[in-house]
Amino acid sequence: MKTRLDAPVGIDALAVAIPHRYLDLEDLARARDIDPAKYTQGLGAREMAVAEPGEDTVSLAASAARRALHIAQLDPRDLGLLIVGTETGVDHSKPVASFVHGLLGLPRAMRVYDTQHACYGGTAGLMTAVEWIASGAAGGRSALVICADIARYGVATAGEPTQGAGAVAMIVSSSPSILELDVGVTGASSTHVHDFWRPLGHREAQVDGHYSVECYLDAVATAYRGWRARAIARELIRADSPASEQLAALCYHVPFCKMARKAHLHVRRCDLEDAAAPWDPSTESLRAETHFRNQVEPSLHLCARIGNVYTGSLYLGLAGLLHTRGDLARRRIGLFSYGSGCTSEFFSGLIGPRASDRIAAAQLDSLLASRARISIDEYHRLMALTAPLLEPPPPGTFRFTGVDAHRRQYVAA
Ligand code: CAA
C-alpha cells in the first residue's frame, strides 16, 4: 500500500476534563506534619485534583471527548477510530472506550477499544491513530484518542502528594492544527521492571518510588538517543549541535513536576556526553537551569495544579505549554511518554499554525477557576468513598450515578 509519511498528521483539537474538587497541598502537608516546602518545592506540586464518586474514568473521558469534538467542529460520522488509554478502567472486560462510544452516540462503523501500559497507554493510542491515518488506511477519517485516569496511592503514603485525576481528549487527523507529528521519527525504550503496578482488585497503586524515578531516567536516555539518531537521519535536526537545544520546547510525562526537571537535566547530559567536544560542568549547571526554565517549565503549570493524570499527564503538559507560550507556531518540540513496567517513547512534532486558538477554545483557565477547594476531612471522606454523589452534576459533564444489575449508569448534564 502507498504510505504518506510526509503528509501532515497529528493533533487537531485537544480538550481537558478534571474533577470539580481539589486539595491544596499545603493543607495536605500540614495534616501529615510535613514541611509544605517538600511538596511545593521538593516535588513542584501546588494542588491535586480529587475525584468524587460520580467522577470516574468514564465520566472524565466522555466529558473531555465531548469538548474536543465541539472544538474541532467534527461530524462524528467522520470518525473511524476511538481509543482510550487508561490504567484505571472500570471493568475487567468492557473498555472505557465502549462506554464513551455509547454516551456520545458515536457511529457504529468504527473501531472502539482501550490501550493499557501504565501511563504510556494514551501514547500507544496516539501512535496507532497517527500511523493508521499516515498509512492511508483511515481513508480520510479522523480518530478520537482519550487519555483518562484517576491516580491513587492511598492516604499517608509517600506517593499521596502525587495523586490526581482527569482526562485529555484529542482529535487526530490529517489537518493537525495543534501538533503535526514527525511520523516514524521516535525512540522507544522498554524493560521488565517492578517500579509501579496495581494488582488486580486494588484501587491504589503499588510503587517503589525512588526506583521508579531511576527507571524513568534510564528509559528517557535510551528513548531520547533513539529519537535523536532518527531525527538526524531524516535531517530534522543537525548533528553538529546538541539536539535538545534545537527543540523549541520539551514536554515530559509528569508524575510530579520535579520529575520533568530531572528528566530534562538527564537529556542534556546525554547530549553533552555524546558530543565530541569537552564540556565544563560548572557553566553547564547554569545553562541547564536557564534551558529548563525556558523550554520545559512553561509546560508544568497545569500539572502543578492537577497532579498526576497517568496517561494524560504528558498531554496536560502539552496543553499547558501551548496555553503559556504563543510563540511556538511551526516550531519543533520534543515529547517523552513513560509507562511504568516499563515502556517509553520520545517523539517530536511541529506546532500547528492555529495551536494557540485551539488551546484558547479549551478554556483551561475557567476549568481551573470553576473548581472548589476541599478540606482535609472532605478529602479523607472522598478517599474512603463515604462522600455522597454530587448533585446536580456540573453542566457539560457526564456523571456516574450507580450500578444497576451489574451495569454502570451515567447521566449527562
Ligand atoms: N524543602 C524543600 N525540598 C524538600 C524538603 C523541604 N523541606 N524535604 C524534601 N525535599 C526534597 C528532596 O530533597 C527531594 O528532592 P530531590 O528529588 O531533588 O532530591 C524531594 O523533595 C522529594 O523528597 P524525598 O525523595 O525525600 O520524598 P519521598 O521519599 O517522600 O518520595 C517520591 C518521593 C518517591 C517521588 C514519592 O512521591 C513517590 O513514590 N511518588 C510516586 C511515584 C512516582 O511518581 N514516580 C515517578 C517515576 S514513575 C512514573 O513516572 C510513572 C507514574 O506516573 C507513576
What would the pLDDT profile of 21-43 be if each residue is shown by its tens digit?
A: 999 999 999 999 999 999 999 99
Reported for 152-155, long-range contacts at CB under 8 A and 24+ positions apart, including other chains, are 152/88, 152/203, 152/204, 152/205, 152/383, 153/204, 153/205, 153/207, 154/204, 154/383, 155/380, 155/383
Residues 6+ apart with CB under 8 A from 178: 10, 11, 12, 13, 14, 170, 318, 322, 351, 352, 354, 355, 358, 359
- Phi, psi of 83, deg, nearest 5: -125, 130
The two beta strands, 142-151 and 79-85, are parallel
Q: How far is CA 186 from the centre of its chain?
A: 17
Out of 28, 86, 157, 213, mutate this one to test ligand 1's pocket (max ligand atoms within 8 Å of CB): namely 213
Report the C-alpha gap between 309 and 50 in whole angstroms: 11
Model confidence at 2: pLDDT above 50: no
pLDDT at 391: 63
| 129, amino acid identity | A
Q: What is the pLDDT of residues 30-76, one digit of tens each?
A: 999 999 999 999 999 999 999 999 999 999 999 999 999 999 999 99
Report the C-alpha gap between 353 and 41 in whole angstroms: 35
Asked whether 296 and 220 are in contact (CB, 8 A), the reply is: no
The label of the residue with cell 515502556 reads 343
Model confidence at 242: pLDDT above 50: yes
Q: What is the DSSP letter of 342?
A: T
Distances from the Cα of 351 to the Cαs of 23, 168, 323, 359, in angstroms?
33, 18, 13, 12
pLDDT at 385: 80
Asked whether 291 and 268 are in contact (CB, 8 A), the reply is: yes
Ranking 57-71, 306-320, 372-386 by mean pLDDT, the lowest is 372-386
Question: Looking at residues 259-280, what average pLDDT do you find?
Answer: 89
How far does the centroid of ligand 1 lie from the alpha carbon of residue 338, in Å? 17
Distances from the Cα of 18 to the Cαs of 254, 410, 412, in angstroms?
16, 17, 16
Report the C-alpha gap between 153 and 160 in whole angstroms: 6
pLDDT tier at 4, thresholds 50, 70, 90: low
Out of 46, 197, 212, mutate this one to test ligand 1's pocket (max ligand atoms within 8 Å of CB): namely 212
How far does the centroid of ligand 1 lie from the alpha carbon of residue 43, in Å? 6
Q: What is the pLDDT of residues 146-160, one digit of tens each?
A: 999 999 999 999 999
- Protein residues with CB under 6 Å of any ligand 1 atom: 35, 37-38, 41-43, 119, 158-159, 162, 195-196, 207, 209-210, 212-213, 216, 253, 255-256, 258-259, 308, 310, 338, 340
What is the pTM for the complete model shown? 0.97
The length of the chain is 413
pLDDT at 1: 42
What is the percent of the chain where pLDDT is above 90?
A: 90
How far does the centroid of ligand 1 lie from the alpha carbon of residue 195, in Å? 14
pLDDT at 328: 97
Q: Which atom number of ligand 1 is nearest to the Cα of residue 310?
A: 53
Report the C-alpha gap between 366 and 338 in whole angstroms: 29
| Short-list 110, 112, 116, CA closest to 137 | 110
Mean pLDDT of the chain: 95
Model confidence at 239: pLDDT above 90: yes
Which H or E run contains 195? none
| 371, amino acid identity | R
Q: Which atom number of ligand 1 is nearest to the Cα of residue 210?
A: 34
Active site residue 257: no
Residue among 47, 87, 160, 345 flagged as catalytic = 87
pLDDT tier at 390, thresholds 50, 70, 90: low
Residue among 20, 47, 117, 119 flagged as catalytic = 119
Torsion of the alpha carbons at 213, 217, 219 and 223, rounded to the nearest 10: 150
pLDDT tier at 111, thresholds 50, 70, 90: very high
Q: How far is CA 111 from the centre of its chain?
A: 22
Asked whether 27 and 162 are in contact (CB, 8 A), the reply is: no
Active site residue 378: no
The label of the residue with cell 457504529 reads 108
Burial class of 285 by CB neighbour count within 10 A (0 to 12, 13 to 18, 19+): exposed
